[in-house]
């Protein structure tokens, strides 16, 4: 089992620098940040850009993998974004993990113009991932599609990671799961839509819904003809209860994720208030359990 942490891009680098260094020092396997222009209830709070933040984090760390949780075509174009990815791969020495998703229906979806329909968003994401794969694995790319055009797009010298940085594709529906099975070195999910209440019954209901999603992905991946299964990442804070409400809640979540075949669990560094509010003492106490949890065996799905 590998365990990662999301560090929201809300602090100036003079403060945030220590958060990323601490994540590495505590022993997390990977650290991520959201790729948004603004986000939900935090839209009017400080929010910094993803690419320079990950570049700075890559420059001060040496071991931990770093990634986007997750980048989407809501405001990204594959050609300039591929250049950013190549740069981040270079700064991190090949430690970049590229989390990719179709994008939600909030602020990011309409900041550049009218928001696409759900079907259009999925279609755009399919082309986005396919073109991004082509750009990052070829020195020169030409493409003319429904959503994107690339004319003589150059990606030289290419990435350190070969054939490109791993794609971790967020997917909850059949089309995006098929995309994850085709292009992803990892599949990630935040699970089903959680119940409104935060009770033990609601928590169990969420885990039951998650098991159904896993079974759906199993079937799609089995039919994709992959030589090796993708790693499976669970965004555990999609559940009704914040994972770091207590060390015991987080530890139980890791074990339940492993039983469902997840190879990686991702949780959020606690904030002072609001969403993901919690104690940094709990975060650090959980990190003391990482050596034990990283030895947890994942139940094979295939």
12-22 pLDDT per residue, tens: 999 999 999 99
pLDDT > 80? residue 301: no
Average pLDDT over residues 182-210: 94
Q: What is the pLDDT of residues 26-39, one digit of tens each?
A: 999 999 999 999 99
Q: Output the CA–CA distances (angstroms, integers) from residue 49 to 9, 45, 52, 193, 298, in the order listed.
A: 7, 13, 6, 27, 34
Which one, of 126, 136, 129, 61, lies nearest residue 99 by Cα?
Answer: 129
Average pLDDT over residues 158-174: 98
Q: Is residue 302 part of a domain?
A: no
Contacts of 240 (CB under 8 A, 6+ apart): 194, 195, 196, 197, 198, 199, 202, 203, 206
For residue 263, what pLDDT band results from cuts at 50, 70 and 90?
very high
Q: Is residue 300 part of a domain?
A: no
Alpha helix segments (H runs only) across 163-238: 174-183, 200-222
Average pLDDT over residues 192-210: 92
Average pLDDT over residues 226-237: 95
Q: Is residue 218 part of a domain?
A: yes
The SS3 of residue 298 is: coil
Q: Please answer whether residues 124 and 142 qualify as being in contact, where contact means their C-beta atoms are separated by less than 8 angstroms.
A: no
pLDDT > 70? residue 137: yes
Our count of domains for the chain comes to 1
Residue 86 has what pLDDT? 98
- For the chain, helix, strand, coil in percent to 5 are 45, 15, 40
* d(C-alpha 262, C-alpha 299), whole Å: 8
Q: Is residue 88 part of a domain?
A: yes
| 133 vs 199, residue with greater confidence | 133
Using the structure block, give the residue that is written with the tokens 């949890």: 293
For residue 195, what pLDDT band results from cuts at 50, 70 and 90?
confident
pLDDT > 70? residue 302: no
Range of the domain at 172: 2-293
Q: What is the pLDDT of residues 94-122, one digit of tens each?
A: 999 999 999 988 889 999 999 999 999 99
CATH classification of the domain holding 239: 3.20.20.30
Which one, of 21, 32, 64, 27, lies nearest residue 289 by Cα?
Answer: 27
Q: What percentage of residues in the chain have a pLDDT greater than 70?
A: 100
Q: Is residue 298 part of a domain?
A: no
Average pLDDT over residues 260-287: 97
Q: Is residue 301 part of a domain?
A: no
Whole-number mean pLDDT of the chain?
96
| Global confidence as pTM | 0.96
Report the alpha-carbon angle 150-91-43, nearest 5. Answer: 75
Q: Is residue 142 part of a domain?
A: yes
Q: Which helix (H) or strand (E) holds 259?
A: helix 247-259
The SS3 of residue 69 is: strand
* d(C-alpha 285, C-alpha 183), whole Å: 36
Q: What percentage of residues in the chain have a pLDDT greater than 90?
A: 92
């Amino acid at each position: 089992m590998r365990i990662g942490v999301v560090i929201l891009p809300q602090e100036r680098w003079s403060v945030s620098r220590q958060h990323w260094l601490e994540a590495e020092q505590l022993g997390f396997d990977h650290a991520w940040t959201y790729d948004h222009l603004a986000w939900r209830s935090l839209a009017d709070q400080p929010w910094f850009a993803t690419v320079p933040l990950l570049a700075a984090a890559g420059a001060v760390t040496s071991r931990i993998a770093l990634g986007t949780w997750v980048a989407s075509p809501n405001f990204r174009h594959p050609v300039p974004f591929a250049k950013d990815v190549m740069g981040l791969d270079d700064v991190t020495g090949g430690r970049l993990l590229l989390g990719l998703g179709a994008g939600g229906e909030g602020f990011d979806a309409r900041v550049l113009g009218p928001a696409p329909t759900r079907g259009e968003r999925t279609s755009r994401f399919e082309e986005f991932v396919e073109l991004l794969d082509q750009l990052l694995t070829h020195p020169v790319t030409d493409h003319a599609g429904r959503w994107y055009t690339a004319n003589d797009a150059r990606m030289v010298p290419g990435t350190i990671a070969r054939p490109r940085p791993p794609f971790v594709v967020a997917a909850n529906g059949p089309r995006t799961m098929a995309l994850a099975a085709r292009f992803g070195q990892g599949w990630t999910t935040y699970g089903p839509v959680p119940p409104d209440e935060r009770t033990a019954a609601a928590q169990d209901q969420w885990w039951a819904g998650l098991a159904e999603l896993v079974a759906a992905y199993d079937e799609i991946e089995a039919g994709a003809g992959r030589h090796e299964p993708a790693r499976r990442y669970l965004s555990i804070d999609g559940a009704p209860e914040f994972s770091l409400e207590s060390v015991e809640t987080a530890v139980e979540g890791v074990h339940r994720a492993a039983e469902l075949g997840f190879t990686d669990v991702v949780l959020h560094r606690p904030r002072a208030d609001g969403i993901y509010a919690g104690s940094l003492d709990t975060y650090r106490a959980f990190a003391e359990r990482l050596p034990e949890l990283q030895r947890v065996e994942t139940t094979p799905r295939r």
